[in-house]
Structure 1
Amino acid sequence: MFEAIKLLVGVVSLIMVYRTITGNCNKYLAFAICAIWLRYFLSAFHTITYPPLVAGFSINALGSIGVAGLGLLLIPTAVFTLKKLFPFYILFTAIAVSGFVNMQIPGTINVLVKWCYFLVLAGALFLSIRSQGQNETFKKLLVAFTMPVVLQVLSVVLGQAKATEADGSASYIGGYNHEAAFSMIIVSFIFVMGLIERNTIRFRVSLFTLAVFLLVLVNYRTAILTILPIAAVFYFTLVEQRLKPSQKAPILTVVTTLFIMVFFALSLSMQERFADVGLMLSNLDLIVKAPMYFSDAEQDIMSARVYIWSQYINAFLNADMVQQFFGFGPDSWKQRFALYAHNTFVSYLYEYGILGLSSFLLVCSILTLQPLGLKDKKLSKILILSFLGFLTMNLATMPLWNIEGLIFFSIFSSLVFGSQSAQLKVNHISKQLGI
């Protein structure tokens, strides 16, 4: 029954996508919309698209390879010479070297294809932002999210819930496979919606509020923590724009108090879901504790995440100097552990070593500091707070392991690269391409 609904919603959303890209839409944005829609469409039918089909590749994987390959042909080479991309190339090199040293060739190809997907999508959105502007680009990009958002609403209406693996609580994810990947779809939708200017689309505030509520229903606590700064900036800006200068101080004080009350109300209503966070913060020494010494109670902290981290860190600490520097290789965790690390930083330390983790931290530092140079200070604040929220999410899960997480990362990065700043190389490339 729900599979038929998925197909119907997918067809309707495809018609909407077609109407959008055949309107006033540049080819780069059309490519990005189609790429994102295709991923969300295929992932909705995970029972068909996830199992291996050809040469060990699933339909989902073949779709990602196709998008990455087409993007390399479509995106002008000049875009890939942006100086802002240099830290990413250092990371990609560290991944490739780690794979070569450990002879993890299939894993290396898999990881680099994902990052290639990120690169072409970020490049396409960058060109669209430089061509048609941020507002027009993101307004049209919303159509790619139609299918997953509508399916989640229908899953709530029809009671189509999934029992969360950790504690059996309900997660409404529209019939998708896992709440981790689906939560990144809604986070991306919230991010895009929050960056669209007032009076651009009807019911903007209502849609944003609905999206925040839908993310809560996904019941994935790390994603909820990610959007808190985005939501706070959105509602504060909304209130601030409607006030006279003399009214701002008293009314914003009241609004701040209201936000704090709402936050505590949500904390109490989801107390069981977040209780382990406080327990983990008060026992940080557990992270470096050898897994063999964990008690049964300690193994259950944060849905066993702390115990999983300790296993990876212990393996790293007991490795030789070469593997500590280069790591064990991309996707090497599959040969030793039953579960992935549930922490991007821990995973990168284990798989890519000190070199890979340092490269990733360089990328994170650049993306945190780069928005400081933007002319639009409001956008600068949104980007910095949003990225800090995203990094917080990476402490307890691995959004960059999924294409859905890389889609969010590409949207964010394209905005950092494409927004007006003092970066002369960006302006030079724009003139070369006639945008």
Structure 2
Amino acid sequence: MTEGVVFGATLPPWLLYPATLLIVLSLALRLWRVPSAIAAFTCFALAFRYLAAAHHTFTYSPSPIGLSWNALGSSAVFLLGLLLIRSRHLLLKQLIPCYFLIAIVILSGLANHTIPKIIDVGVKFGYLVIMTIGVYEGLLALGEKRMTNLLLWAFAAPIGFQALSIAFHVVKASEGDGSVSYIGGYNHEAAFSIILATGLLIACFATGIALWRRSLLLFVFMAAIVLANYRTAILAFAPLIVTQFNLDIVSRFSPRQRSIIAVALLGLSVLGVLSAAWMFRERFQDIVTTFESIDKLIKPQSEYTMAEKQLLSARPFIWSAYIEAYIDGSLRNHLLGYGPDSWIGVMTVYAHNTLISALYEYGLLGVTAFVVLWATMLYASLWAPAGVRGKLIAGHLSFLLLNMATMPHWMLEGDILYGVLCGYTIYMLRRTADERKPMKMPTGAVNAPFAGGLVTEVAPKPRPNMLKP
């Protein structure tokens, strides 16, 4: 143990409260000048959640009505967003899979008589819808450059608190290998890493700032994720990071040179990934061991050895309990699961995999609903403009990877992350549709061939007949 290091999960009050006051004042001043109410609300929703999570010793405690203060605040933000968004945007086609998922949650809760949990889980997915529409409308109101720059202000709290935890050596010892996590006084490195990943995602799309500033921001978020020491987030967002830096470099060359540069960058990226794997080889050694013996890990929990239980922070061991319980269930459980949040009080920890958890809670229909939602948004990203298509696809793939070893949809931080990604995806899909709309031709316009296509040009007015008296 390092001498002089304080092991804990909360910043001391004499650090936390003055920093919070400074951040709140700065955010209030910035949001006051935003001309769009929905854009200001979206930034506020992110910042509110991130500040509330930092004060978890109070916000996670129960209020007089039983719900935690955090749940009450999140519900209030959800209702405020529902009042501010345009109701017609609730009918966006890309949101239909989300409504299908909410319907499955309700059906599962009713079938298993876990009705109180329906509200809690329903609000989480409703929050996802509100965040998606909020980002979409904010982009329509302010434009891509101003909206992404505005959203970055919400990360003053997590980045600032992490910097304080580094400066004052407030860390959390969360792994058995002796490593520590700088999580800025937040409750858990999973939620904190997802917050940082959201900032990384927004920074990738922040085109309104100079390239060197955006590169600096990306480096800050990447370093912050590494210091948070949550392996799942580090691995999951590697595709987005590699894609982002490659596209930034390639875009600075002429179209004729880009193919050659892309091949060279691909080789450098492979070397970079291999170098990173070598640097973190001890931290990720059990991943290799797990994949080498994956066929031996598909078995009941009672057959696991002590060494096998430790692999991937016990994830295969945890997954086997959920799968075994699902197999032993009735036909109703196979179709609709055991109900929303039914693992609480039954399993030791949550499933650490969205699909395995969905299989247990919502059955085959729930797994189908998640897959349809992810596939819909990923398909929509394929139609984005060429300049952002690669980053959007990489962002969706990173989010899918994240779901394979943790459960971002179970945390509001994860639903915010996916809401930002989906809102930006739908906005880019609309931009593509607008660009493909045929332009209205002025009166007297004709189509003339030019450079292998059609361009619009106005037919010349007929000259007056000078011979006429």
TM bucket normalised to smaller: over 0.9
Q: Give the whole-Å Cα distance in 2 for the aligned partners of 1:201 and 1:26.
A: 26
Partner of 1:231 in structure 2? 241
Q: Secondary structure at the match of 1:266?
A: helix
Partner of 2:96 in structure 1? 86
Partner of 1:299 in structure 2? 309
Note closer, same or farther for the CA distance 1:77–1:274 as it changes in structure 2 (3 Å cut): same
Pick from 373, 392, 402: which aligns with 1:393?
402
Whichever residue aligns with residue 76 of structure 1, its letter is R
The Cα of 1:421 is off from its aligned counterpart by 3.7
Residues 41-83 of structure 1: per-residue CA shift (max 9 Å, x gap): 1111111111222332111111111111111122221111111
Partner of 1:216 in structure 2? 226
Partner of 1:329 in structure 2? 339
The Cα of 1:156 is off from its aligned counterpart by 1.6
Pick from 383, 392, 396: which aligns with 1:383?
392
1:38 matched to 2:48: yes
Q: Give the whole-Å Cα distance in 2 for the aligned partners of 1:283 and 1:135.
A: 47
Pick from 409, 412, 415: which aligns with 1:403?
412
Greater share of residues in helix: 1
Q: Which has the larger radius of gyration?
A: 2
Partner of 1:27 in structure 2? 37
Q: Map 1:56-75 onto structure 2 (within 5 A).
A: 56-75=66-85
Partner of 1:342 in structure 2? 352
1:171 matched to 2:172: no
The Cα of 1:299 is off from its aligned counterpart by 1.2
Q: Give the whole-Å Cα distance in 1 for the aligned partners of 2:173 and 2:405.
A: 20
Partner of 2:18 in structure 1? 8
Q: Give the whole-Å Cα distance in 1 for the aligned partners of 2:87 and 2:135.
A: 15
Q: Give the whole-Å Cα distance in 1 for the aligned partners of 2:335 and 2:262.
A: 50
Q: Give the whole-Å Cα distance in 1 for the aligned partners of 2:208 and 2:251.
A: 10
Q: Give the whole-Å Cα distance in 1 for the aligned partners of 2:111 and 2:94.
A: 28
Note closer, same or farther for the CA distance 1:83–1:18 as it changes in structure 2 (3 Å cut): same
The percentage of counterpart residues that share the same residue type is: 33
Whichever residue aligns with residue 138 of structure 1, its letter is T
Partner of 1:431 in structure 2? none
Q: Map 1:67-146 onto structure 2 (within 5 A).
A: 67-146=77-156
Computed over aligned residues only, the root mean square deviation of the Cα atoms, in angstroms, reads 2.1
Q: Secondary structure at the match of 2:283?
A: helix
- Where does structure 2 lack aligned partners over 5 or more consecutive residues? 1-10, 438-469
The Cα of 1:285 is off from its aligned counterpart by 2.9
Residues 83-128 of structure 1: per-residue CA shift (max 9 Å, x gap): 1111111110001100010011222211111111221121111111
The Cα of 1:264 is off from its aligned counterpart by 2.0
Q: Give the whole-Å Cα distance in 1 for the aligned partners of 2:392 and 2:212.
A: 24
Of 5-14 and 280-289, more deviation after overlay is shown by: 280-289
1:195 matched to 2:211: no
Whether the 8 Å CA contact 1:344–1:397 is kept in 2: the answer is: yes
Whichever residue aligns with residue 267 of structure 1, its letter is A
Q: Give the whole-Å Cα distance in 2 for the aligned partners of 1:187 and 1:205.
A: 15
Note closer, same or farther for the CA distance 1:237–1:347 as it changes in structure 2 (3 Å cut): same
Whichever residue aligns with residue 327 of structure 2, its letter is L
Residues 155-212 of structure 1: per-residue CA shift (max 9 Å, x gap): 2222221101454411011111100000001100000001111645872211211211
Q: Give the whole-Å Cα distance in 2 for the aligned partners of 1:54 and 1:122.
A: 32
Whether the 8 Å CA contact 1:17–1:33 is kept in 2: the answer is: no
Whether the 8 Å CA contact 1:299–1:306 is kept in 2: the answer is: yes
Residues 380-400 of structure 1: per-residue CA shift (max 9 Å, x gap): 211111111111111111111
- Where does structure 1 lack aligned partners over 5 or more consecutive residues? 429-435
Of 247-256 and 222-231, more deviation after overlay is shown by: 247-256
Of 51-60 and 327-336, more deviation after overlay is shown by: 51-60
Whether the 8 Å CA contact 1:129–1:419 is kept in 2: the answer is: no
Whether the 8 Å CA contact 2:42–2:138 is kept in 1: the answer is: no
The Cα of 1:341 is off from its aligned counterpart by 0.4
Partner of 1:153 in structure 2? 163
Q: Give the whole-Å Cα distance in 1 for the aligned partners of 2:282 and 2:340.
A: 35
Q: Secondary structure at the match of 2:312?
A: coil
1:183 matched to 2:193: yes
Whether the 8 Å CA contact 1:287–1:309 is kept in 2: the answer is: no
Whether the 8 Å CA contact 1:373–1:422 is kept in 2: the answer is: no
The Cα of 1:308 is off from its aligned counterpart by 0.3
The Cα of 1:340 is off from its aligned counterpart by 0.5
Partner of 2:421 in structure 1? 412
Whichever residue aligns with residue 187 of structure 2, its letter is N
Pick from 198, 203, 216: which aligns with 1:206?
216
Of 231-240 and 334-343, more deviation after overlay is shown by: 231-240
Q: Give the whole-Å Cα distance in 2 for the aligned partners of 1:202 and 1:229.
A: 21
The Cα of 1:366 is off from its aligned counterpart by 0.6
Of 193-202 and 19-28, more deviation after overlay is shown by: 193-202
Q: Secondary structure at the match of 2:63?
A: strand
Whether the 8 Å CA contact 2:149–2:208 is kept in 1: the answer is: no
Whether the 8 Å CA contact 2:98–2:129 is kept in 1: the answer is: no
